[in-house]
Amino acid sequence: MTEAAHQLADREIGLSQASRDYFGLAFPAVEAFADALASEGEVRGLIGPREIDRLWTRHLFNSAAVVPFLPTSGVIADVGSGAGLPGIVVAAMRPEAEVVLIEPMDRRCVWLRWVADELGLENVDVRRGRAEEYHGAFEADAVTARAVAALDKLARLTLPLLGRGGVLVALKGRSAEQEVAAATKTLRRFGGGPAEVLQASTIEGVDDTVVVRVARETIKGS
């Protein structure tokens, strides 16, 4: 299949009735986000040209796969937001939640603010900096992360952002089980409970996403 054919197939899935049903009221915002990534996002270097032909199947649905594991309201923080995957998708699908996008690079923060404004996502709060700089600054009900770090390091960055009972929901790949095994002591040290490795489905024709879910059970000093 040629690159053009791949892109057409990807877009057909993205604009299918199954996709519209899956995203529901969030579909117009997600579609607009896809268009922004394919145009302005590529120009700004937020996404590579080779990723344009799989925006929906590899990136947007992959991002959406975390949403069923997130609360419908409260504070959701996305660490290392980059181009807005999964943070912008989460904000579109969880309109009653405050979605805090934490990103250290200024040009990416500019992009995230621009996209949120273009999509009318008033529940987005973009904060420049590293996750550890916000430890103690606010208490999140959930934290998401995609392609940020191995779970051992990710736990150090994200668990301190959570209140008791809050959840880390990380998008992972084939190495998820090994990462969980390597992070057991760190998870316990930062108050995390046992990590769950879950297969998250979206729609037919799109591969399942591997999600690691960790609840923060204890907080030092409490």
| CA–CA dist 1, 93 (Å, integer) | 32
| CA–CA dist 128, 145 (Å, integer) | 16
Tell me if 110 sits within 8 A of 45, measured CB to CB. no
Known binding residue 51? Answer is no
Known binding residue 146? Answer is yes
Known binding residue 131? Answer is yes
Known binding residue 85? Answer is yes
| CA–CA dist 7, 26 (Å, integer) | 22
CA 209 → CA 63, 144, 161, 171, distances in Å? 9, 14, 24, 7
Eight-class DSSP state of 212: E
Known binding residue 60? Answer is no
The closest of 150, 141, 78, 140 to 115, measured between CA atoms, is 78
Eight-class DSSP state of 145: E
Q: 103 burial class (0-12, 13-18, 19+ CB within 10 angstroms)? A: buried
Binding residues for S-adenosyl-L-methionine, as ranges, are 80, 85, 131-132, 146
Residues annotated in the binding site, as ranges? 80, 85, 131-132, 146
